[in-house]
Structure 1
Amino acid sequence: MGENVEAKRLPRNRHSDLFHSECPGRIVFDRITSRWAPLVLVKLAEGPLRFYELRDQIGGISEKVLSEKLRLLARDGLIERTVEPAIPPRVSYALTGMGHSVARPLRQLMRWVSDHGGAILDAQARHDHQN
């Protein structure tokens, strides 16, 4: 019943309904839920990090992809890039207030995936075995 009530609260016009193909928010939704963005956002929720620290803590992400994700997330106002004057310059990345607000539910989703990942893999194996 809670899901139905929540669904009724969602806006229902093409400019604010993510289910509508012309909703501009869909671009932001796609960016936030892209392959690496949730990991970047949740990792930065722990505190500011430099580029190489992020790269080393997010296994499998290439420098090119990380650089692109950071640039796009900064453009969206979810992270801020700080350059400290030094030689070479020290660049760090941190979440903005809006970034923190989206990182919280992403962290909950990651926790859910961690808690249920085994059951999902078991269900996949059962399904694949039956088909």
Structure 2
Amino acid sequence: MSNKLVLSSLILSTALIASTTLAGTAVINGKVTRTLIHNDGGFGGCMAQLSVDPQAALPACGGRWVTFSCTGDFTDQVSAYRSMDQAQLALATDKNVMVIIDDTRRHNGFCFATRIDVMR
């Protein structure tokens, strides 16, 4: 193989590996500090602000907020509102949460929370 072909293959392989490691999911543990219902559907319609910044785990996520996609874009609306209910429960009872976020699905730059668990 020529040096140019080897170099091109190496660059392409590195680019493919980098792109797969930049996108994905992460687990965030913290508290819910605020919740938001957006009636006109902005930000996915409902969100929770976390005490831990999701950007620390996934740089593509925007700020401390995560969306549950109550508009139904990334999940069905019933599941989204149930996730929102869990966030409100955690806020009202000052409980920790475990949130799994996905940076491949975002509303207005904020990552989609695929799961939220209220902890003891």
**Structure-1-length-normalised TM-score:** 0.25
Q: Determine which structure has the larger helix proportion and give its number.
A: 1
If asked which structure has higher relative contact order (CA below 8 Å, sep 6+), I would say 2
